[in-house]
Structure 1
């Protein structure tokens, strides 16, 4: 039989510690008891892509989802929900249960441009959306058809001023970031050209190749092969810094155009419903960062013409959103673009 141990003697120091702990508990200042972290994910995770299959967002989502399935030991199921420049799919994520089992991969225009362009937006960013993690930055490339006799940004602006309304400027949609930049050029530099909106990058680039439009801004991913073949000519990068996918291409700022608008670039990022617990947001962001840091993902993103991001967190992404959102709003207002939706 195990002998019953006598109660431990209360030494003066032990008695003081117990009394102090009781006092703290009574005052409500006791250190909180750490709650046991629940396992995440609890089964399959739905990763909503608010754009059509085959596009850059979809390609990144499928590769990221595949890697997260392995690292978190749960299937990540891709669901494409296109429409209204990402608002339909984003709304589906926003209205899902806030448990981390439904997330989305968006292009930043969903949160930075849509609220200022569309007359009806089914979500409010700060109220409804948890910004979890950025996965890649995407720079726009200002390019021209080879028939346009310019080779850099300074030449381009000078040519526009000397040839008002001669060039057609293509964008991948009314209210898209290239459209806003086109309006900025027209209104601040007195560079007159005709805006031609397309439904996506593919038809825009196709008409640039055919010289139906002579100027456009699209992703490096959509244009790189045509630059290499000499069928389109890159003029400048719309970004804060050069990209590893085409390091020889200078930014607009490097070419003498230092306005904030020429550093405003898009990004791909993971979102979730706003009420998703912070612990789940952090765990998800850490898992995404680990995946994005792998050589396989880094190589894929760079080959697509983007810049991989492996150190994003909810706090970093929210801070970046709040820094740039007012600038996007100002640019949208300057453009005058409005879409009934």
Structure 2
């Protein structure tokens, strides 16, 4: 979970994490034969969410650049496992891509004792498209105006505050558990199947607080239906520039600084020539002002790095992410 500068840094992929991507089968003629048919971008979640929208933003210009249709296919279920496994087992010919959030390729390695895929061995990075920024927000009936005052309110009323999340082990759950251990707080965790119902219950007062994407929560914040207290990350979010970071308020722990990318991946044996070709196209697409503006309109921040940079970023981010999930003590099987 790295900031944008770290995602853009050229860091050599190392150890077991870097090897599958760096040493995939080389076939110089593969790029000349590619693509031979329509491409598919597999999304692990239902249509209409941020990941699905991002896939469609990229699919249209990618189709034009490759001269083949690029179809977005939704394969939701099991915390992203179904869609991820489908791509991991697809033909490694560049025609099937995965657009993934961090959880299926990081948190799931801790939450589940056995997965049908291993993202470290079965998938390789193509590009981090963007970082999806998140924000701690409360129902307006909660009188806290900053994070310190929220901690004080929770400490004064143990067991009465509930934190909504989009699932066990996810970022809001990680933060809730950390707050409990670090400050001696007693709060409840309420897991939802998605951000939409979680945000609705936060606005309605069923839960009092959450950490959610800027994409989902910013409209409610702008309308006065929620109050933003702090953004996660080392810099302020472009989508909520008026909201300070946790660090600006004196809270510098890693859990408050960690942001994750939405990434394109491929089966690990996809030839290097095809990966490089697709990587160049995706980087060019994300760099165009029109696409960058559409990504920023989602409350995200464009990245568009190379396959090597994305692989290095994942190698660095994975142990941090896994530790944060382990600290929750949650497993799902």
Q: Give the one of 98, 104, 115 matched to 1:104.
A: 98
- Report how far residue 36 of structure 1 moved: 8.0
Which residue of structure 1 lines up, in the alignment, with residue 36 of structure 2?
42
Contact 2:130/2:303 (8 A) holds in 1: yes
- Report how far residue 34 of structure 1 moved: 7.2
Q: Is the alpha carbon distance of 1:171 and 1:68 closer, same or farther for their aligned partners in structure 2, counting shifts above 3 Å?
A: same
1:83 matched to 2:72: no
1:330 matched to 2:323: yes
Tell me the alpha carbon deviations over residues 228-277 of structure 1, each in whole angstroms, 9 at most, x when there is no partner: 11110001001222121111111111211111111111221101000111
Q: In the aligned structure 1, how far is the partner of 2:223 from the partner of 2:71?
A: 37
Contact 2:30/2:274 (8 A) holds in 1: no
- Report how far residue 95 of structure 1 moved: 0.4
Q: Give the one of 256, 265, 268 matched to 1:274.
A: 268
Question: Which residues in structure 2 correspond to 1:99-248 (within 5 Å)?
Answer: 99-248=93-242
Contact 2:57/2:294 (8 A) holds in 1: no
Which residue of structure 2 lines up, in the alignment, with residue 319 of structure 1?
312
Secondary structure of the corresponding residue to residue 100 of structure 1? coil
Structure 1 stretches of 4+ with a deviation exceeding 3 A read 33-37
Which residue of structure 2 lines up, in the alignment, with residue 339 of structure 1?
332
Which residue of structure 1 lines up, in the alignment, with residue 62 of structure 2?
68
Gaps of 5+ in 1: 1-32
Q: In the aligned structure 1, how far is the partner of 2:72 from the partner of 2:266?
A: 14
Q: In the aligned structure 2, how far is the partner of 1:278 from the partner of 1:36?
A: 9
Tell me the alpha carbon deviations over residues 1-53 of structure 1, each in whole angstroms, 9 at most, x when there is no partner: xxxxxxxxxxxxxxxxxxxxxxxxxxxxxxxx976842321221111111111
Contact 2:163/2:172 (8 A) holds in 1: no
Q: In the aligned structure 2, how far is the partner of 1:60 from the partner of 1:127?
A: 25
Contact 2:234/2:257 (8 A) holds in 1: yes
Gaps of 5+ in 2: 1-26
Q: Give the one of 54, 57, 75 matched to 2:51.
A: 57
Q: In the aligned structure 1, how far is the partner of 2:143 from the partner of 2:28?
A: 66
- Report how far residue 66 of structure 1 moved: 0.9
Normalising to structure 1: TM-score of the pair?
0.87
1:94 matched to 2:93: no
Secondary structure of the corresponding residue to residue 32 of structure 2? coil
Contact 2:55/2:99 (8 A) holds in 1: yes
Q: In the aligned structure 1, how far is the partner of 2:271 from the partner of 2:254?
A: 35
Which residue of structure 2 lines up, in the alignment, with residue 297 of structure 1?
291
Contact 1:198/1:204 (8 A) holds in 2: yes
Q: In the aligned structure 2, how far is the partner of 1:280 from the partner of 1:142?
A: 40
The structure with higher relative contact order (CA 8 Å, sep 6+) is 2
Q: In the aligned structure 2, how far is the partner of 1:131 from the partner of 1:191?
A: 39
